[in-house]
């Protein structure tokens, strides 16, 4: 094409009018035909496949965007569900802890009441046992005192010399009673 234009240019300079502008009709028509053939070839072999590739690319991008939007929606839904499940689990855990605390307090109260009742029974039994032991000790002491008084009286009656001797015998009997009582208590 360039060669034709270079040949046609000197011929156009020689002629006048339209050719004074430097237009070569034959070259122009040839260039238009070349352009049309090139355009047809580009459309047939370049633009259509290129447009097909671009359309496929556009569809792929659109599908990717739709997939991304769907994934984002699913993520948000999953996050909402997870938060709801977490809140529900937290509420259930708090309810379980509260119920466990109430049950533990009830068990403690029952154990405390049972312990107090057992302690009361033990105290009552201990008091009754102590009272029985005291009563038994008093009876035993009374028997021993009576025996000692009888022994002291027998000695006094057997050996009745004077008041001083009588007082010494009574003191001796009382000291013996104290020792016997002390041995019993200890």
Predicted confidence at residue 162, as pLDDT, reads: 66
Selected residue with higher pLDDT from 29 and 7: 29
Average pLDDT, the chain: 83
Best-predicted range by mean pLDDT among 10-24, 54-68, 125-139?
A: 54-68
For residue 179, is pLDDT > 80?
yes
Percentage above 70 pLDDT, the chain: 80
Q: For residue 161, give the DSSP letter.
A: -
CB of 184 within 8 A of CB of 141?
yes
For residue 81, is pLDDT > 90?
yes
Q: Which residue in this structure is represented by tokens 């009582």? A: 181
Q: What is the mean pLDDT of residues 144-159?
A: 68
For residue 20, is pLDDT > 90?
no
What are the pLDDT digits (tens) for 21-72? Answer: 788 888 899 999 999 999 999 888 888 888 889 999 999 999 999 999 999 9
Distance between CA atoms of 148 and 168, rounded to whole angstroms? 15
Predicted confidence at residue 154, as pLDDT, reads: 67
- For 31, residues 6+ apart whose C-beta sits below 8 A from its C-beta are 1
For residue 12, is pLDDT > 60?
no
DSSP notation for the chain: -HHHHHHHHHHHHHS-GGGGGT--HHHHHHHHHHHHHHHHHIIIIIIHHHHHHHHHHHHHHHHHHHHHHHHHHHHHHHHHHHHHHHHHHHHHHHHHHHHHHHHHHHHHHHHHHHHHHHHHHHHHHHHHHHHHHHHHHHHHHHHHHHHHHHHHHHHHHHS---HHHHHHHHHHHHHHHHHHHHHHH-
Least confident of 17-21, 45-49, 133-137: 17-21
Predicted confidence at residue 3, as pLDDT, reads: 47
For residue 111, is pLDDT > 90?
yes
Predicted confidence at residue 37, as pLDDT, reads: 95
pTM of the full predicted structure? 0.39
């Amino acid at each position: 094409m360039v060669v034709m234009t270079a040949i046609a240019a000197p011929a156009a300079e020689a002629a006048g009018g339209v050719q004074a502008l430097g237009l070569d009709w034959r070259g122009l028509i040839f260039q238009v035909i070349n352009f049309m053939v090139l355009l047809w070839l580009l459309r047939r072999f370049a633009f259509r496949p290129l447009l097909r590739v671009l359309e496929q690319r556009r569809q792929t991008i659109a599908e990717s965007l739709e997939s991304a939007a769907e994934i984002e929606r699913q993520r948000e839904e999953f996050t909402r569900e997870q938060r709801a499940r977490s809140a529900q689990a937290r509420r259930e855990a708090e309810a379980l802890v509260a119920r466990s605390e109430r049950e533990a307090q009830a068990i403690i109260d029952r154990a405390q009441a049972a312990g107090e009742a057992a302690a009361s029974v033990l105290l009552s039994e201990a008091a009754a046992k102590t009272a029985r032991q005291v009563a038994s000790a008093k009876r035993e002491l009374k028997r021993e005192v009576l025996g000692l008084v009888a022994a002291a009286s027998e000695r006094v009656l057997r050996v009745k010399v004077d008041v001083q001797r009588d007082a010494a015998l009574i003191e001796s009997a009382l000291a013996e009673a104290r020792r016997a009582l002390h041995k019993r208590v200890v």
